[in-house]
Amino acid sequence: GWCPLSPAGAQSTQILVEPPWRSAVLWDWVTLTCQGLGSASATTWYKDWQRWGQEKWDGLNVTESGTYMCDRPGTRCSPAVTVWNAQLVLQVPAQELLDWDTVTLRCQL
């Protein structure tokens, strides 16, 4: 069930998280979108490092907490995204941040 090996130098797929906050939590109604080369109809999803299913679409509405990855033939698996079922979480915007950036923090209860 783990992501298959891919050709050396293959491009990674990426996961877009909506809403765009880290850490992702179930009660935010999280949608994951797999982005990368190849057909969206060939997207395979993994949950907790096991094959989760072959989806016809690149989007996945998350209904269970866990760690998610996606893959398409000829590419490397995406980085892992963990969705928590937490009662209290401190969230930051999902984009990459630099030391001098101004950032909005969100404490959700």
The residues spanned by each domain of the chain are 14-108
Residue 1: its pLDDT value, please?
Answer: 64
Tens of pLDDT, residues 20-60: 887 888 888 999 999 888 777 788 999 999 998 777 778 89
DSSP element (H, E) containing 21: strand 21-22
**Please, which pLDDT band fits residue 6 given cuts at 50, 70 and 90?**
low
Amino acid in the structure at residue 89: V
Bin 28: left if φ > 0, else alpha if -120 < ψ < 50, else beta. Answer: alpha
Residue 48: its pLDDT value, please?
Answer: 94
pTM of the full structure: 0.79
Assigned fold of 14-108: Immunoglobulin-like (2.60.40)
**Please, which pLDDT band fits residue 103 given cuts at 50, 70 and 90?**
confident
Q: Any residues with CB less than 8 A from the CB of 109 and at least 6 apart, and which?
A: 87, 88
Residue with token string 């949608």 = 31
> Token pair of 77, please?
């698996």
Torsion angles phi and psi, residue 28, rounded to 5: -85, 5
> Token pair of 82, please?
């963990």
Residue 9: its pLDDT value, please?
Answer: 67
Residue 47: its pLDDT value, please?
Answer: 94
